[in-house]
Amino acid sequence: MIIDAHTHIFSPAVIADRSRYTARDPFFDYLYSNPKARLVGAAELIAALDADGIDRAVIAGWAWQAQAMCVEQNTWLMQVARQYPTRVIALATVQPNAGDAAIRELRRCVEGGMIGLGEMNADGQGFDLTGENFMNLARAAVELRAPILLHTNEPVGHVYPGKGKLPLADIYALIKQLPALRLVLAHWGGGLPFYELMPEVRAAAQNVFYDTAASPLLYAPQIFRAVADLVGARKILFGTDFPLITYPKRQTEPGSALFLADVRAAGFTPAELAQILGANAQAVFHR
């Protein structure tokens, strides 16, 4: 079972009328006002999974700032999940600052068959990861046994659109307070795996996982083996950030074949590879 644990798709409404949505959401505008920034729908994702030999995808939409736009998208993603029950695992987004309305929406989505939240984005959506609103939402997620996929950034290195400033210290504060929360930190957790060599961080991070999304744009391929040595293969989830072009020099169309080949060539044992490519995602993204 191969699972891409990090993909983004958009509804026909967003794809057909992108400017209506860029006008309503500054962060979406920042990343998608350029018509070259790809928006793909559900059918295109399924076709790409078929072409690349990937069984399932965790589908995240977009972390909208407005709660109403999250709700609109969640409703559509629930339909997609019903349409492709064996191919997709759907995540909802909410605006934590909406307070009780965000928690009610999480509950509605979970009852509607969605698995958890993601990709949540503290910088993009403008919420405080350690503030009361997000903490209440995260507590509700624990209660519902719903995992959260969180966008994370490297605190150093090159700047790119969408690179935020969410401090690793905030993530540590969150997991210390709520160690039961199943948390997937995107993009290798911005370097947090290194700090898991500190016993107290390791202890707090028992339910923290790391995905590989966009890795070829960020890190040398040695990162795969290095993180497995730091935190263990059981904590790594293969994820691409599809339809992001992750190999701009070798790729013109979205697809994950090159990424998959790099993971397979990263020096994992067959057992580790099975965990990273699918078993870990199956264990994390369930309720």
* Residues at the interface with Zn ion (CB under 5 A): 151, 186
Residue 218 or 277 having the CB closest to Zn ion: 218
Residue 32 or 268 having the CB closest to Zn ion: 32
Residue 56 or 151 having the CB closest to Zn ion: 151
Question: Angle, nearest 10°, between helix axes 132-143 and 100-111?
Answer: 20
Which residue's CB atom is positioned nearest to Zn ion? Answer: 151
Residue 87 or 151 having the CB closest to Zn ion: 151
159 CA to centre of own chain? 20
Residue 39 or 103 having the CB closest to Zn ion: 39
Question: Smallest distance, Å, CB 202 to Zn ion?
Answer: 24
Question: Smallest distance, Å, CB 285 to Zn ion?
Answer: 16
Q: In terms of DSSP bridges, do strands 3-8 and 56-60 run parallel, antiparallel, or are they unpaired?
A: parallel
Question: Smallest distance, Å, CB 121 to Zn ion?
Answer: 7
Question: Smallest distance, Å, CB 111 to Zn ion?
Answer: 26
3-state secondary structure the chain: CCEEEEEECCCHHHHHCHHHHHCCCHHHHHHHCCCCCCCCCHHHHHHHHHHHCCCEEEEECCCCCCHHHHHHHHHHHHHHHHHCCCCEEEEECCCHHHCHHHHHHHHHHHHCCCCEEEEECHHHHCCCCCCHHHHHHHHHHHHCCCCEEECCCCCCCCCCCCCCCCCHHHHHHHHHHCCCCCEEECHHHHHHHHHCCCHHHHHHCCCEEEECCCHHHHCCCCHHHHHHHHHCHHHEECCCCECCCCCCCCCCCCCCHHHHHHHHCCCCCHHHHHHHHHHHHHHHCCC
Question: Smallest distance, Å, CB 90 to Zn ion?
Answer: 17
Residue 18 or 151 having the CB closest to Zn ion: 151
Question: Smallest distance, Å, CB 139 to Zn ion?
Answer: 23
Question: Smallest distance, Å, CB 75 to Zn ion?
Answer: 23
Residue 44 or 154 having the CB closest to Zn ion: 154
